[in-house]
Structure 1
Amino acid sequence: MSPLTGAGEQRGAEVIDEDGDTVPLPMIPSAGDPEQPSDHRQQSYADGPGRPPFGPILKKVALGLAICLVAGAGYAGLQHIANAPADPGAPTAQQPPSATPTTPDQAQAGVQRAVAGEAVLQKMADAIENEDRGEFLNTIDPKATAFRASARTIFGNLSALPLGTFQLRYVSDDIGALTPDRQAELGGTQSWLAQVEVSWQLAGYDVKAARETLPVTFVTRDGKTYAASFSERFVAGQRRPVWSLGALELAKGKHSLVISLGAGSEAEAEARSYVSVADKAVESVSKVWGRSWRQKVVVYLPAKQSQMEYVLGARPNTYTQIAAVTMAELDTPAVGAPVRIVANPKLFEELGKQGRRIVLTHETTHVASTATASPVPLWLAEGFADYVAFNAVPVQDESAAKELFKAVRAGHVPASLPTTEAFAASAKELPQAYESAWLACRLIAEREGEEKLVKFYRAVHASKSSTGLADAFQSVLGMTEAEFVAEWQKYLERLAGG
């Protein structure tokens, strides 16, 4: 995803809120069913190269609050944001450090560290699988007081999640990563930093396992090796598992799992309040898209901004004006990758019920249509998601397409459907790109029927050909893209009153 700093222009769609008041609303920018894994501990709960990610749009919200609603991380641009330093002084993004032995003794020492570290990780994974808290804590450095407290929370989180699988794999180490002062603090006969791949699968929600890389500090004392930290020296862009960031509260609905960071009744109530919104979003999407998808969404609800940034591997304050992001929680976006909707709870609360529903419906449309791993052009992905969201919560054309109508009335009718570049966060006419994409999809639905719109999207999505879009225009809509654009231009002029 490209840096999400917001567009320079604002727009102001309106909805009627739960109290009957007209509320300005931000436009929402982007973003085979294998057998479900079973929870081994409890019953199961019921991109193309050069393509930018879904980008943000700023627009006025109640009391003048500018909120940027973002969806669909997971295209090639996702790596762009991963390359941004996660901390102000963080090093440039790079592969996890790996020791390069130059002598037989160094090679042997590296093997011994890997064997010792892998043994600790295996004991951890076994303890999680067997729900053995004591055995899990036996792998934690008894002198690392703060980390032992965190480890208790991590174990509780992993025990609460509906895990289908959980694995830890030793990848590489770098004995030079720890400073002499840190090594002295750890003590023992040796200490080192290793990169560890952690993967987990949520039973009933994920087809594939989520994967992250954790920097794990190991220390050996009295002949035994322990884990002493899960958070030392994150390289730029390294995402952090949500279960490692603090206590979790879970709320489950018919179609959703909301994972809230924060302990206590307040966090639990907040998670429950989002379940009904997420469930309604799934139902709204299924009415349009159909029910041939998993009809399940997982929503992460961080308690504070920094936690959202950690989950996404982003710069501090990147998401202060962003209400939500949809991301693929996998190294390489692909069909079946676990997709999460990451919400900014403060901004969601400012939006109100209707605004939150529009946002989650838009995001859920991307989940259902596997937009993070689809060849569809961005105008179709974003326009379709807006079409579904605005069907769920209708908005007035004049407010929802304010910037586009202003341009059309001034004689600036779009010459073509929005290009990939039009959706870049820095694009000057970014609002018009989303507005025109939405109305292009709505025109297809009005002209051919909603089923044809879905069929058109599916045809483009399923195509393996570079001419997939042109082929779909002919086979599904019976016209060329040029013919559609001409009709769409007249449609915009009619709507704008130009």
Structure 2
Amino acid sequence: MSRLTGAGEQRGAEVIDEQGDTMPLPAVPPAPHPETADRVDGGRRVPPTFGPIVRKVALGVAVCLVAGAGYAGLRQIADAPADPGVPITAESPQTSTTPDEAAEGVRRASVGGAVLQKMSTAVEDESRSAFLATVDPQATEFRESARTIFANLGKLPIASFQFRYVSDDTAALTPDRQAALGGSESWLAQVEVSWQLSGYDAKPARETLPVTFVTRDGTTYAASFSERFVAGQRRPIWALGPIDVAEGDRSLVISLDSEANAESYVSATDRAVESVSKVWGRSWRQKAVVYLPAKQAQMEFVLGAQPNTYTQIAAVTMAELDTPQAGAPVRIVANPKLFDELGRQGRKIVLTHETTHVASTATASPVPLWLAEGFADYVAFTAVPVQDESAAKELFKAIRAGKVPTALPAPEAFAASSSELPQAYESAWLACRLIAEREGQSKLVKFYRAVHASKSPTGLADAFKSVLGMTEQEFVAEWQQYLKRLAGV
């Protein structure tokens, strides 16, 4: 897979209809709003649509991606207008402006928050009946979903679960929808939800979901937690249907696929964690969380992606947080159909590559894409050795045709639309392998860490000099000779 900067995934306020797969979200007590932070490089990594190379993974091409889709700005989503033509801005939430309207907004927030508080207490008390008592008695489908989500939460090792009523938009519900809801009042609110998996997350995951409230006979209920989603708005995996959970020594697999063997993913991920630690070191949490949707649409819901974005993508690494930062909860999201087709060797390569991104916090790193992807492939191919001719087939073919790379792959080379995407990955991998062969594996790790930790715009050039004792230009010249020798030119 490849990774792009967040600029490629910047979405407008297009509202998309619920497709029937989303389950309701249990709410919890109010939590303080997280500090907002500037997006790194527009949101950092964004998943492109991947082409035919995906199916070559078993031959040595790592199928992986650091997904910036998980970085859809929380404030953008929370404040998104119902009208697709109205721009999204963090400073223009859909709230009232007159004193009377402002007071009504405060009242709605208080009433809605009280409903969510009751739901929270019911979850904490493990009281299914109390939880369902907060659900609109006329919302038949929502009640069934609520039963599922309540059961899902009981299967997860949740250390904390919190919500914050962000904003509401009284115009978001159409007159027909309001008439269908009935009652004396109904409205749509955006609610920030956060949860933390015990033993896996240093910080809570955060998402924002649309919550519909309705008041009837003097009582306010939750009528839907999936009324209208803004394009790019992520959905928790545990809100998409019944889940199975399997846990290993170093991994947690959360599966929506009842036919998948979650235990087999656990053992494979445990081995991937160990393989990564042998190269990267053990100064990381040494845990990985794998999401296993039952179908591609669910994968795209989790990532906040447009429909059919991931038709040819086997796995994605994403941060489940509104801002790209160190410590963000990171998930490996698999496309089960493609993942199963890879075979045992291909799955091991993919999981090791993705777990390398988890260990190196690649979702919030300033390292250039060639280094992040090349290093992840280096670790994966160290764990699962492959023949150079298979792993670098497209690159060698180009070199034998006289097309020797003139520079290390630029970010745009990893775009889905790039005609030389395979070569970008293959040449990045061999650049990292050259460093390891020339200086030793520990120096490769030191080089990566130096670039990752640098606060300077010249961090890469500085690392070339301080760690490798050469300029990038000198390295490129040596790398070109290395590639030609491997290709037999």
Work out whether the TM-score is over 0.5. yes
State the alpha-carbon separation in 2 of the partners of residues 102 and 60 from structure 1: 51
Computed over aligned residues only, the root mean square deviation of the Cα atoms, in angstroms, reads: 2.7
Distance in 2 between residues matched to 1:335 and 1:293, nearest whole Å: 12
1:309-345 Cα offsets, whole Å, 9 max, x none, are 1111111111111101111101111100011111011
Selected match of 1:324 from 297, 304, 315: 315
Q: Which residue of 238, 242, 254 corresponds with 1:243?
A: 238
- Whether 1:234 and 2:229 are equivalent positions in the alignment is yes
Report the equivalent of 1:486: 477
Q: Find the counterpart in structure 1 of residue 440 from structure 2.
A: 449
- Partner amino acid, structure 1, of 2:88: Q
Residue 144 of structure 2 corresponds to 149
List per-residue Cα deviations over 1:209-252 (Å, max 9, x = no partner): 11111100001111111101011011111111111100110000
- Deviation, 1:57, is 5.1
TM-score (norm 2): 0.85
Q: In 1, distance between residues paired with 2:340 and 2:117?
A: 41
Structure 1 residue 193: deviation in Å? 0.7
Distance 2:57 2:380 in 1: 23
CA spacing shift, 1:380–1:99, aligned 2, 3 Å: closer
Q: Alpha carbons of 1:144 and 1:48: their partners in 2 closer, same or farther (altered >3 Å)? A: closer
Offset, 1:100:
3.4
Kept after mapping to 2: 8 A contact 1:383/1:434 = yes
Q: Tell me the amino acid that sits aligned with residue 294 of structure 1.
A: R
Would you say the 8 A contact 2:412–2:418 is kept in 1? Answer: yes
CA offset digits 1:62-112 (Å, max 9, x no partner): 7999x993311138x9559x999xxxx994783699443244432332222
Query: What residue number does 2:385 align with?
Result: 394
2-structure distance, mates of 1:355, 1:113: 52
Offset at 1:296?
0.4
User: Within 1, Cα distance between the matches of 2:105 and 2:47?
Assistant: 42
Give the alignment of 1:26-425 within 5 angstroms: 48-49=40-41, 53=46, 55=48, 56=50, 58-59=52-53, 61=55, 69-74=63-68, 79=72, 91=84, 94=88, 98-263=93-258, 266-267=259-260, 270-425=261-416
Cα 1:277–1:83 shift into 2, 3 Å: farther
State the shift of 1:428 in Å. 1.9
Q: Distance in 1 between matches of 2:98 and 2:448?
A: 58
| Amino-acid identity (%) | 73
Q: Call closer, same or farther: CA 1:180–1:54 in 2, change over 3 Å.
A: closer
**Higher mean C-alpha displacement, 318-327 vs 131-140:** 131-140
CA distance in 2, matches of 1:168, 1:460: 36
Aligned residues: 445
Q: Distance in 1 between matches of 2:5 and 2:307?
A: 12
* Structure 1 residues 450 and 64: alpha-carbon distance in aligned structure 2, compared to 1, 3 A threshold: closer
TM-score of the two chains, using structure 1 as the length reference? 0.84
Contact 1:72–1:325 under 8 Å retained in 2: yes
Tell me if structure 1 keeps the 8 A contact 2:94–2:167: yes
Amino acid at match of 2:187: W
Paired residue for 2:9? none
The 1:54/1:289 distance shift into structure 2, 3 A limit, reads: farther
d(CA) in 1 for partners of 2:45, 2:263: 34
**What residue in structure 1 maps to residue 420 of structure 2?**
429
AA in 1 matched with 2:292: L
Indicate whether 1:459 and 2:454 are aligned. Answer: no
1:298 alignment partner, SS class: strand
Q: Is 2:467 the counterpart of 1:472?
A: no
Q: Secondary structure, in 3 states, of the residue corresponding to 1:291?
A: coil
**Counterparts of 2:416 and 2:234, CA distance in 1:** 22
Indicate conservation of the 8 Å contact 1:252/1:275, yes or no.
Answer: yes
Q: Which runs of 5+ in 2 are unaligned?
A: 7-38
For residues 329 and 71 of structure 1, do their structure 2 counterparts lie closer, same or farther at Cα, with a shift above 3 Å needed?
same
Looking at structure 2, the residues matched to 256 and 60 of structure 1 have their Cα atoms a distance apart, in angstroms, of 24
C-alpha spacing 1:340/1:54, structure 2 compared with 1 (3 Å): same
Deviation track 1:433-455 (CA, whole Å, cap 9, x = no partner) reads 11111001001111111111111
CA 1:72/1:313 → structure 2, altered by over 3 Å: closer, same or farther?
same
Specify the code of the residue in structure 1 equivalent to 2:212.
T
Alpha-carbon contact 1:94-1:235 (below 8 Å) kept: no
The answer to whether the Cα contact below 8 Å between 1:129 and 1:166 also exists between their aligned partners in 2 is no
